[in-house]
Homo-oligomer: A and B are copies of this chain.
Amino acid sequence: MGTIYDLAKITGFSITTVSKALNNYSDVSEKTKAKIVQAAADMGYLPNAHAQSLSTKRSWTIGVMFSEANEVGMMHPFFNAIIESFRKATEQQGYDLIFVSRNLRNRDMSYLEHFQHRAVDGIVVICSDQMDKHVQELIQSSIPIVVVDMDSTDCSVVFSDNLSGGTLAVNHLYELGHRLIAHIAGDMTIDAGLARIEGYKQAMDRLALPIPDGYLINGGFFSVEEGKQAMQTLLALPKRPTAVFVAGDQMAIGAMEAIHEAGLQVPHDISVVGYDDIDMSKYVTPKLTTVRQDTERIGQHAAELLIEQIVNKRRVMTTDIIPVDLIVRQSTGPVKP
């Protein structure tokens, strides 16, 4: 593949000139630039990224820290959608994503340490666990960073308008005539979960609807299984809700399963609205009514925010809230008379 030294030897110029020619410096004539570029093409020359990084202190890599909360790794559909759009946006600017692990050849180091070791230009964390020690460490560091789906005043964050999302869901159910509306919530340690709870409460309050005991139930960490269990608890209530707003699609799918297993029908007996609009939502039966998060926009905006910090070399600490939409499908319907 060759180095600039080979190129210098072949063309007869110095490595300085070769480097300059390849990097479009102005102080090299068009003629010699052409020769060098040609020679580079001929030998299939490619600059060594490590050498470049070493010398420029710019690696053109972005480290991504992924949630490993509920062990889903890279299989979380919502996070995945965000990462995907983030990737598209960053790659357009020439960055590569690097997924680091915590153990560097047997030593095991923190994520921050690992990112420092790899000398990433920036970090994106997509992790819902506010309290995670590693996340905090990353935020406190001086590496450009953007955090998704989590709140923080110490760095750039971007997340959905969960408050409105909750309200949207409740209002929709209200308009369908429902008055007994329960909420299967995400764990309170998770910002998104908390905000949706708040949205739910505010909406109920505004509609002058009481929240009966047991109607606000913790669904844990957004898994299908936990959603199912929460719904079972709800079904066992003396006064069963006619509708339930679930803080995540996967949980909602679990909830629907519980309902079906109890011999009831969605939406005939109970309406359910989810949150996220993951890919599968439109394919489950019945198709899930849900609050769509704009993963495309979240990922892209996060990318912009991060890159801006990288190129301008200054930290920005904005919190950007991305609007959500209610997608009405078939899991919600009018309340039974």
**Chain A residues close to B by CB (< 8 Å):** 1, 44, 46-51, 53-54, 59-61, 73-75, 77, 80-81, 83-84, 87-88, 91-106, 109, 113-114, 116-119, 224, 253-254, 257, 260, 279-280, 283-285
Contacts and interface: CB of A to CB of B under 8 A. Distances in A.
A253 B100 CA distance: 34
Contacts of A46: 109, 113, 116-117
B77 A73 contact: no
Contact of A101 (B44, B48, B91, B98): B91
Given A1-B116, A46-B117, A50-B54, A87 B105 contact: no
**How many copies, total?**
2
Contacts of A254: 283
Given A51-B54, A96-B114, A97-B99, 16 more contacts: A46-B117, A48-B119, A73-B87, A74-B84, A74-B87, A75-B80, A87-B101, A94-B103, A94-B106, A96-B118, A98-B98, A98-B99, A257-B283, A280-B280, A280-B283, A280-B284
B84 A50 contact: no
Given A87-B101, A97-B99, A99-B87, A49 B285 contact: no
B53 A50 contact: yes
B104 A100 contact: no
A59 B83 CA distance: 24
A323 B295 CA distance: 36
The 8 closest A-B pairs by CB, nearest first: A91-B101, A94-B105, A285-B285, A50-B53, A50-B50, A73-B84, A97-B99, A74-B84
B47 A117 contact: yes
B285 A60 contact: no
A96 B94 contact: no
26 contacts: A47-B117, A48-B54, A49-B117, A50-B50, A50-B54, A50-B119, A73-B84, A73-B87, A74-B87, A75-B80, A75-B81, A75-B279, A91-B102, A91-B103, A92-B101, A93-B105, A94-B104, A96-B99, A96-B100, A96-B118, A98-B98, A99-B99, A224-B283, A254-B283, A257-B283, A284-B284
Contacts of A105: 60, 93-94
A257 B330 CA distance: 14
Contacts of A95: 101
A49 B119 contact: yes
